Amino acid sequence: MFIEVAKRLQHTEEYYFSKKLREIDELNKKGAKVINLGIGSPDLPPHPSVIEALNQYAALPNTHAYQGYKGVPPLRNAIASWYKKYYGVDIDPDTEVLPLIGSKEGIMHICMTYLQEGDEALIPNPGYPTYSSAVRLTGATGVYYTLKAENNWLPDLEELNKQDLSRVKIMWINYPHMPTGAKANEQAFKKLVLFARKNNILICHDNPYSFILTDKPTSFMSIEGAKEVALELNSFSKSSNMAGWRIGMLVGHQERINEIMRFKSNMDSGMFLPVQMAAVKALSLETDWYRELNHTYHERRAKVYELLDQLSCTYDQTQVGMFVWSKIPHNYSNGYELSDEVLQKAAVFITPGGIFGSAGNTYIRVSLCTPISILQEAIDRIKIMK
């Protein structure tokens, strides 16, 4: 029997990491014991008090029912307090915040709420592949804007203003940037607010890395006028080590939140209450938690630099976030070639930069979500390979 998949999927490929993990699994079955330095899934646990809160609420007899779509008031209040404490941003917990079953879900919700065939969305190149796939699934067209190292991986708004933007409805941005590690930039954010207002474009800022190896967490919503032209996604995955818990948040103007709720309420139900209450606890942690987390990532990043030196790659030591973005040596045509060689010869997987767009073709990305001892083993394997 042959049933054709829907048009929306005919040009949507399986996620790169999904395919690569199968390849790694096959190598492991043959005894390779591959070290995976590709995916940014935190290997460290959440704070013990967060796990304790989950267990405490899960043990109660009245916490297992369906929950409301907007999340419980304690969670919305905790999100608003967290935004005020760390970002200096005032958020109305009743009208300007929407808890999510992971921020990746929010990317799809935003695209499905605002985009349809005939619309366009600005997508960074390089950038998180989910932006492209979510836009494509709506039937809209992705218009890629190139980010360059010489411009600190920031959008060239002068170039964009020369284009026909009449069909563009949203623009995806992400700072601290993944995959390049470019820092958030207040001056660039101010220009983006003006750009959005001038062109009637909704800025969608994806902000999961603001606490990782940064001097000060930054939110796009801290810029004057941002709330009127932007939405911001945030996540517990990186800053709280809760990736598998699938919990995130969306903040923005009440009107935008209500519009997205119209879509979201038809797609899922509320999150498990004990998870929400554990998230409340995670948001109440003091700065010591983030400081200790970053101490670990500092040590790991230094070890990743050693690994990249072995591969004769170059990198910017001012980058932040959960990965190290690195330029490949000239004797490789692209990052895929280097990645495949290291996987086959050293049984170490490193992400090729090309999966993030053509502007990443001559780069690789290494995750910091691996203990020092395993990173050292990867270095030792690469030394033998070379």
The verdict on 215 and 266 lying in the same domain is yes
Are 207 and 234 contacting, i.e. CB atoms less than 8 angstroms apart?
yes
- On whether residue 230 sits in a domain, the answer given is yes
With contact defined as beta carbons under 8 Å apart, do 367 and 20 qualify?
Answer: no
In a domain, 209, yes or no: yes
| Claim to verify: residue 293 and residue 376 sit in the same structural domain | yes
Say if residue 235 is in the same domain as residue 99.
yes
Provide the pLDDT for residue 9.
72
Shared domain check, 77 and 29:
no
Last residue of one domain, picked from the residues 268, 283, 298: 283
Domain of 167, CATH number, reads 3.40.640.10
How many domains is the chain partitioned into structurally? 2
Q: What is the share, in percent, of the chain residues with pLDDT greater than 90? A: 89
Confidence (pLDDT) at 14: 61
Residue 370 belongs to domain with CATH number: 3.90.1150.10
CA distance 373 to 137: 41
Tell whether 109 and 240 lie within a shared domain. yes
230 and 243 co-located in one domain: yes
- Cα–Cα distance, 270 to 260 (Å, whole number): 14
Strands 168-173 and 120-125: parallel
Shared domain check, 236 and 148: yes
Residues of the chain predicted below pLDDT 50: none
Name which of 28, 384, 357, 306 is nearest 180 in CA terms: 357
Per DSSP bridges, beta strands 141-146 and 120-125 are parallel
* Final residue belonging to a domain, choices 232, 249, 283: 283
Judge if 324 and 232 occupy the same domain.
Answer: no
C-alpha torsion 176→178→181→184, nearest 10: -20
Residue 2 lies in a domain: no
Q: Are residues 222 and 105 part of one domain? A: yes
Give the per-residue pLDDT at 39. 83
Question: Which tokens go with 355?
Answer: 């999966």
pLDDT score at 15: 65
At 18 the pLDDT is 74
209 lies in the same domain as 293:
no
Domain membership flag for residue 1: no
Q: Tell whether 220 and 363 lie within a shared domain.
A: no
Considering only CA atoms, which of 208, 212, 207, 291 is closest in space to residue 243? 208
The residue range of the domain holding 152 is: 50-283
Query: Of 283, 315, 339, at which residue does a domain stop?
Result: 283
**Tokens 């001012």 sit on residue:** 318
In a domain, 136, yes or no: yes
Q: Are residues 19 and 164 in the same domain?
A: no
- Select from 108, 71, 138, 93 the least CA-distant residue to 279: 71
Reduced 3-state DSSP string for the chain? CCCCCCHHHCCCCCCHHHHHHHHHHHHHHCCCCCEECCCCCCCCCCCHHHHHHHHHHHCCCCCCCCCCCCCCHHHHHHHHHHHHHHHCCCCCCCCCEEEECCHHHHHHHHHHHHCCCCCEEEEEECCCHHHHHHHHHCCCEEEEEECCHHHCCCCCHHHHHCCCCCCEEEEEECCCCCCCCCCCCHHHHHHHHHHHHHHCCEEEEECCCCCCCCCCCCCHHHCCCHHHHEEEEEECCCCCCCHHHCCEEEEECHHHHHHHHHHHCCCCCCCCHHHHHHHHHHHCCCHHHHHHHHHHHHHHHHHHHHHHHHCCCEECCCCCCCEEEEECCCCCCCHHHHHHHHHHHHCEECEEHHHHCHHHCCEEEEECCCCHHHHHHHHHHHHHHC
Our CA dihedral for 33, 34, 35, 41, rounded to 10 degrees, sits at: -110
